[in-house]
Chains A and B, each alone.
Chain A
Amino acid sequence: MTDARRVVVTGVGVLSPLGASAIESFQNAVGGRSAIRRLDAPWAARLEEPVGAPTACEPREAGPPSRLRMMDRSVRLGLDAVLQALTDARFDPTGADPARCGAFVGTALGGAGTTDEGYEAVYGQRSDRVRPHSVLAAMNHALAAWIGIDHAFAGPNLTFSTACSSAAVAIGEAARRIRGGDADVMLAGGAEAPLVFGVMRAWEALRAVARMDALDPSRSCRPFARDRSGLVLGEGAAFVLLEELGHARARGAPLRVELAGYGLANDRVHITRPSAEGQAAAMRAALADAGLEAREIGYVNAHGTATTQNDPVETEAIKRVFGADARRLPVSSTKAVHGHLLGAGGALEFVLSILALEQGVIPPTMHLEEPDPACDLDYVPGRARDGVSIEAVMSNAFAFGGSNATLIARRLVARRS
């Protein structure tokens, strides 16, 4: 960062397929314990590939049925992660100016489950009975609104929807609001709950989803592997509490890492096919924003979807950015074990990257036995790498529509002149 106001992460919260907290999710990512499994809901029998990554537990209740009825599952997942992030940051809203506290949320599909349920009633059951709160639960910015209501965050409150980079965009844009002086505290992250029939069938129709591994469904997502066959949808939420450094210091907050860089670039090429140049442009922009050289990045959490298209293109993009250093750079895709959380993925993977930085442990890319010849980087296959000294980490989140976002976190150090 080159301007005076610096942004630090003071809290993280996760409810993911890998765990009910950030640390549990990280430990399972490090252990390579896949949360991807065969789905046993009755409707899943109608899928060609009934495989997904449900959350490790249900979202913790946040009120009576009259309140929960207004919330899509994605909102309940999100509010769980939000509460964790605030607790982790030891944030006391009574000590903050509400107008200086905001919430930016990323979600690709918003209340898709609620919409799916409504369609099932009116088209499937041919009923005219639609629940009265359907609009409130389905609206895409509901989670951001509830954060404002629940936590008295009266500042900037926005929802970003750039498909699979939504949460990374929300986090990056939130950091910019703090840097720009519009806010001192921002809750930022994403939530997604796509494991419903209509959504999953639509992804199947796009032929982007992995074939279920018949012998071991948990191995269905194989980023960078020769035998990869696509992504596996997952659900969950992840949030970070971002604060202006001086604000965080003044209240004695835990100073975890600095959100040092954020880069955005659009492929401007194709609605689905990714572009190495577009992805590289996002990474370069994030590096420039952070004032870091590529060689200072010690780990890249790749977008790594395990689709035919993404993995070689991202590999090429990393080579363009890191040059000769690309060969020694640890790059992994944790999607192999938590699936693709779509609009929440960028937040989950950013949090996992933060923990990798803090703990000096790089989570592996699982189920990568034979790489695609076009994927020839160090993907940390099969086993985590620990005892690694990392100065800064990069997290990539790329999306349909060519909406590429990259976040960089670094250890909090005195600013270089």
Chain B
Amino acid sequence: MSTSLSLLQDILMREHALPRERVVPEAELAALGVDSLGLMELVFQVEERFGIRIREDPPTDLRTVGDVARYVDGLIDARPVAGVSPPAERGGSRPAP
């Protein structure tokens, strides 16, 4: 099971006032009203939650909620320390070395 999927779904439901049944892995971001600005906010909140920094622009071929979840999971797995860090403090912090 994806690490980030349910978090992404929660963020999308809250930010875009969407019902859960619409925010499924195969749902297209555009159909949910998530444009490039919405994706930036999504990335920001993911960074906060997982204590990661996404320095590159997200790939342009992220079309669905599932695509984003796989992308974020890859970033989490690539961190030097395995697992998921606790939610970042206010103001954020860099991932533990």
Contact = CB atoms under 8 A, between A and B. Distances in A.
B17 A64 contact: yes
Nearest to B93: A127
B40 A132 contact: yes
A125 B90 CA distance: 9
Give the most central of B38, B91, B92: most A CB within 10 Å: B91
B17 to A, nearest CB: 4
A66 B33 contact: yes
Given A66-B33, A66-B41, A69-B41, A128 B16 contact: no
A70 B40 CA distance: 12
Contacts of B92: 127-129
A353 B54 CA distance: 53
A66 B44 contact: no
Interface in B20-67: 33-34, 37-38, 40-41, 43-44, 47-48
B79 interface: no
B48 A129 contact: yes
A111 B63 CA distance: 33
Nearest to B33: A66
Interface string B82-95: 00000000111000
A66 B48 contact: no
B41 A132 contact: yes
Contacts of A132: 37, 40-41, 43-44
Interface in A68-107: 69-70
Contact of B16 (A66, A121, A131, A136): A66
A415 interface: no
Contacts of A136: 37
B15 A65 contact: yes
A202 to B, nearest CB: 23
B7 to A, nearest CB: 16
A270 interface: no
A132 B57 CA distance: 13
Contacts of B38: 66
Contacts of B40: 132-133
A225 B47 CA distance: 55
Nearest to A66: B15
Contact of A133 (B17, B37, B43, B47): B37
A65 B37 contact: no
A148 B34 CA distance: 21
A76 B89 CA distance: 28
A131 B43 CA distance: 11
Nearest to B34: A66
Contacts of A129: 47-48, 91-92
Contacts of A64: 15-17
A126 interface: yes
Contacts of A133: 37, 40-41
A29 B22 CA distance: 48
A65 B37 CA distance: 13
Nearest to A121: B91
Contacts of A70: 37
B91 A126 contact: yes
Contacts of B15: 64-66, 69
B92 to A, nearest CB: 4
A125 B92 CA distance: 9
Nearest to A68: B15
Contacts of B90: 125
B66 to A, nearest CB: 20
Contacts of A128: 92
Contacts of B91: 121, 125-127, 129
A136 B92 CA distance: 21
Interface string A136-151: 1000000000000000
Contacts of A126: 91
A381 to B, nearest CB: 49
A33 B96 CA distance: 56
Which residue among A69, A70, A121, A129 has the maximum number of chain B CB atoms within 10 Å of its CB?
Answer: A129
A136 B44 CA distance: 15
Contact of B17 (A65, A69, A127): A65
Nearest to B15: A66
Contacts of B16: 64-66
A65 B44 contact: no
Given A69-B41, A132-B37, A132-B43, 6 more contacts: A63-B17, A66-B16, A66-B41, A121-B91, A128-B92, A136-B37
Interface of A: 63-66, 69-70, 121, 125-129, 131-133, 136
5 contacts: A64-B17, A131-B41, A131-B44, A132-B43, A136-B37
Nearest 6 pairs of A and B residues by beta carbon: A127-B91, A129-B92, A64-B17, A125-B91, A132-B40, A66-B15
